[in-house]
Amino acid sequence: MNLEIKDLTIRLYPKKSGGRYINVVDSVDLNIKGGEIAAIVGESGSGKSFLGLSILRLNPPDVSKIVSGSVKIKCLEKNDELDIIKLYRKDLPSVRGRLISMVFQDPNTSLNPVIKIGEQITEAIFAHEKVGKLEAKEIAISYLNRMNVDGRARFNSYPHELSGGMRQRVMIAMAMVLNPCFLIADEPTTALDVTTSLQVLNLIEKIRLESNLGVIFITHDLSIAKNISDKTYVFYAGQVMECGKTEEIIDNPLHPYTVSLIKSVPSLSKDYMQGQRLFTIPGYLTNDDFMPGKCRFYSRCFKKGKDCLQNIPLSLNKINSERFVRCLKV
Ligand SMILES: Nc1ncnc2c1ncn2[C@@H]1O[C@H](COP(=O)(O)OP(=O)(O)O)[C@@H](O)[C@H]1O
Ligand code: SF4
Ligand SMILES: [Mg+2]
């Protein structure tokens, strides 16, 4: 099983921008195998959700379009091999849920509040499989049980009758019910408290082992990436700034953005001592940072030089077979 994204570029036409656009995802390469967890880490507004949505061609068509690239999926278990970007729109439902599923940050907006959760899960089954009502119900119950939700007791519950953590586990049951090869989890724990968040992370870890599931885990939290992922893509203003084995990236960050990001996490920072002010990266990510012609991290970089404005570090420099960095000074 393999999911390979090559040179993916998505153009966003922000509202009231007079037709001006930004490449909200720019020349992204990403590779993930079955059973692997790849984290996409970066701060809010860097385009992580756009990237996740575009893999399933769910990026909002009124404001964005995919301009280039490929998303090739090879799923031998389902006897399928295709490029999602080349598919006709009418064929996309056969990919969504069956080959790749997605879980979003907020289960409150993803679940329909007026439909019982069991019915919402069986609907997903009926959309893809020819099964009877009773069989679909049993499948839904077994998946809820697998996600540590008492399926039989909760089948007829409405979303508001469940806790936040339970709703997120229902979302994961729904995402997994067609046994997909890959799961995109977009900040699935951000809306949860720490303990519930840990339960959901453990659950994702469990299903990736049981189902040889490949997971793209989107997060703004480097410590979560450290705990859950095998490899990490550090994302900033639409571009991968650095990627490689998670352990190597945390232990030896090379890109100035990664260095700054790690320094901003108290529990990970080597410099952090009690009583010392927490480090924050100066400035903000703005639409200007997405503009071509300079390094996208330039305005906030502690290592920048004049040449970073003149030479565009377009490509990722290869450090080793798995490690790549997009910086003129590394
Ligand atoms: N539907 C939308 N219409 C216009 N701009 C959007 C829309 N969704 C997101 N954006 C903009 O696209 C950029 C990237 O957003 P997003 O992918 O949600 O970032 P992240 O998930 O990393 O926080 C941001 O500048 C955001 O304001
Ligand atoms: S290219 Fe220059 S501005 Fe960009 S991250 Fe590297 S040192 Fe900083
Ligand atoms: Mg997001």
Q: How many CB atoms lie within 10 A of CB 292?
A: 10
- Per-residue pLDDT band for 283 (boundaries 50, 70, 90) equals very high
Q: By alpha-carbon position, which residue is closest to atom 11 of ligand 1?
A: 45
Domain limits, the chain:
2-91+183-192+212-325, 100-179
How much is the average pLDDT of 61-79? 93
Beta-carbon contacts of residue 34 (< 8 Å; ≥ 6 apart): 1, 2, 181, 182, 212, 213, 214
Give the distance, in angstroms, between the CA of residue 3 and the centroid of all CA atoms in the same chain: 13
Closest ligand 2 atom to Cα of 302? 8
Band (pLDDT 50/70/90 cuts) for residue 271 is low
| Of the candidates 286, 291, 285, 298, the residue with the CA atom closest to the CA atom of residue 326 | 298
Q: What is the mean pLDDT of the chain?
A: 92
Q: Which residues have CB under 6 Å of ligand 1?
A: 12, 14-15, 24, 42, 44-50, 60, 63
* Atom from ligand 1 closest to the CA of residue 186: 21
Fold of the 2-91+183-192+212-325 domain? Rossmann fold (3.40.50)
Q: Is the pLDDT of residue 289 over 70?
A: yes
Range 104-113 average pLDDT:
85
Ligand 1 mutation target, pool 8, 10, 12, 16, most atoms within 8 A of CB: 12
pLDDT in tens, 11-39: 999 877 777 899 999 999 999 999 999 99
Q: By C-alpha distance, which of 323, 276, 283, 319 is closest to 304? A: 283
Which residue's alpha carbon is at the smallest distance from atom 7 of ligand 2? 304
Give, using CA atoms, the residue closest to atom 2 of ligand 1: 63
pLDDT category at 311 given cuts 50, 70, 90 is low
Residues 157-207 pLDDT 10s: 999 999 989 999 999 999 999 999 999 999 999 888 888 899 999 999 999
**pTM for the model:** 0.94
Beta bridge pairs of residue 241: none
Ligand nearest to the CA of 316: 2
Query: Residue 108's pLDDT band (boundaries 50, 70, 90)?
Result: confident
Res. 270 pLDDT band, cuts 50 70 90: low
Give the ligand with the smallest distance to the CA of 47: 1
Q: Calculate what percentage of the chain has a pLDDT beyond 90.
A: 77
